């Protein structure tokens, strides 16, 4: 039972990550391989604050979101000048720099040793410490961020995002401040990813750089792409699918020592296969094939 709940908790956390990245990559067309950096910011802010200042769960969350939001402004900046695959490379750069900070700023982050001992969250006098409670907590936040994003993408705001994805020049000619929108989606998407980082930190009670590598970013973008860029439901499916499939391998008796590798091999091949045969993913509303080709 605990194992099952553990998997469900992870799925909840990844739903927050994949849906928030979908806002950036799927709806606005800004393919980013830096989402694990925002995720990491949320986790590290949580870890550092609660260890050094004993701050509460919600305060950690808000401050993590604020820092990630600021990072969002910075990461969005290159998208004003460079596009498509060049922008992907730029996000790669941010991911690597942030990872480098987590890993090398030893006096702050303890480097590869990580930060242990993050306390369990307390909300309204209640301590969340069982798997069941953590499941409820993460489910609440996953649902909340899903509803928030779905409002956003189905509003006139979302209409502008899709216009920017399809034709930035047209959007500008219609009087839309493309710069502002690109920045806003990175701020919102990044802040939501920080929520996931906060939940992860409080749940595992330990953070280290290995959880926020570029491979993690590739995993999250794979969830978005395989689920379907431009479909929030698709991102939920993508997250659940990529978390569950490797777990199924355990049932066929795969030793856990190699599970991590097999898991990555699996999602790597899925990414290749989807790109080859179904670039729009399970539920995508548009094909990435169009992206890039038309905005040139």
Partner 1 sequence: MIQQLLVNGIIAGSIYALVALGFGLIYNTSRFFHFAHGAVYTVGAYLAYIFSALWNIPVFLSLPLAVLGASLLGTLIDLVIYRPMRIKGASPLVLLLASLGIFVVFQNLISLIFGDETKSIRGGLVREGIEVFGARITQIQIMLIVVSIFLFVVTSFILKKTKIGKALRAVANDQELAFVQGVDSNKAILFAFGIGSALAAVAAILIAFDTDITPMMGFNALLMGVIAVIVGGIGSIPGAYLGGLLLGLAQHLGVWKLPSQWQDAIAFVILLVFLLIKPQGFLGRKLKKVEV
Partner 2 sequence: MIEVRDLSKSFGGIRAVDKVSLRIEEKKITSIIGPNGAGKTTLFNLMTGFLLPDQGQVLFRGEAITGLFPYQIARRGIARTFQDLRLIRQVTVLENVLLAGKNQKGEKLFHALFWNGIRGEEKKLREAARAILAFVGLTEHAGELAGALSYGEQKLLTLACCLAMEPDLLLLDEPVSGIHPEILEKILALFQELVKQGKTVVFIEHDIEAVRKVSDTVVVMDEGKVIATGKPETVLQDPAIVEAYLD
179 near partner 1, judged by CB under 8 A: no
Among 204, 203, 201, smallest CA distance to 45 is for: 201
Among 244, 196, 232, smallest CA distance to 14 is for: 196
Number of residues in contact with partner 2 under rule CB under 8 A? 29
Q: Which is nearer to partner 1, 89 or 140 (CB)?
A: 89
Q: Which is nearer to partner 1, 205 or 295 (CB)?
A: 295
Among 86, 123, 144, 151, the residue binding partner 2 under the rule CB under 8 A is 151
Determine the straight-line distance between the first and last CA of the chain, rounded to whole angstroms.
51
Buried b (16+ CB within 10 A) or exposed e, 211-243: bbbbebbbbbbbbbbbbbbbbbebbbbbbbbbb
Among 228, 205, 200, 229, smallest CA distance to 216 is for: 200
Among 159, 258, 265, 269, the residue binding partner 2 under the rule CB under 8 A is 159
Site string for partner 1, 3-42 (x = CB under 8 A): ----------------------------x-x---------
Among 5, 66, 101, 178, the residue binding partner 2 under the rule CB under 8 A is 178
Q: Which is nearer to partner 1, 19 or 213 (CB)?
A: 213
Contacts of 255 (CB under 8 A, 6+ apart): none
Whose structure tokens read 């930060």?
Answer: 115
Whose structure tokens read 């799927």?
Answer: 26
List phi, psi (to 5°) of 122: -120, 125
143 near partner 2, judged by CB under 8 A: no
Q: Using CB under 8 A, list all residues that contact partner 2.
A: 148, 151-152, 155-160, 162-163, 166-167, 169-179, 184, 188, 285-286, 290
Q: Using CB under 8 A, list all residues that contact partner 1.
A: 31, 33, 77-78, 81-86, 88-90, 92-94, 96-97, 100-101, 103-104, 168-169, 214-215, 218, 221-222, 225, 258, 261-262, 264-265, 267-272, 275-276, 279, 288-293, 295-296
């Amino acid at each position: 039972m605990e194992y099952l709940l553990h998997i469900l908790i992870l799925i909840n956390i990844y739903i927050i990550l994949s849906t928030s990245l979908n806002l950036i990559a799927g709806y606005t067309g800004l393919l980013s391989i830096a989402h694990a950096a925002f995720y990491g910011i949320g986790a590290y802010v949580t870890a550092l604050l609660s260890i050094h200042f004993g701050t509460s769960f919600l305060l950690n969350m808000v401050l993590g979101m604020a820092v990630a939001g600021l990072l969002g402004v910075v990461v969005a900046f290159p998208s004003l000048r460079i596009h498509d695959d060049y922008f992907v490379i730029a996000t790669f750069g941010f991911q690597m720099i942030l990872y480098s900070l987590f890993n090398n700023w030893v006096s702050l982050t303890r480097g590869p040793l990580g930060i242990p001992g993050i306390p369990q969250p307390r909300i309204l006098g209640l301590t969340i410490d069982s798997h069941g409670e953590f499941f409820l907590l993460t489910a609440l936040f996953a649902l909340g961020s899903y509803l928030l994003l779905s409002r956003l993408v189905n509003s006139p705001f979302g209409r502008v995002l899709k216009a920017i994805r399809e034709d930035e020049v047209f959007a500008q000619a219609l009087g839309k401040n493309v710069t502002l929108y690109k920045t806003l989606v990175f701020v919102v998407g990044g802040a939501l990813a920080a929520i996931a980082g906060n939940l992860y930190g409080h749940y595992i009670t330990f953070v280290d750089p290995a959880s926020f590598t570029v491979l993690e970013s590739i995993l999250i973008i794979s969830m978005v792409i395989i689920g379907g860029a431009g479909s929030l439901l698709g991102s939920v499916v993508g997250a659940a699918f990529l978390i569950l499939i490797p777990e199924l391998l355990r049932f066929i008796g795969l030793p856990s020592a190699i599970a991590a590798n097999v898991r990555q091999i699996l999602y790597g091949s899925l990414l290749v296969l989807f790109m080859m045969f179904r670039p729009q993913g399970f539920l995508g509303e548009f094909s990435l094939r169009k992206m890039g080709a038309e905005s040139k």
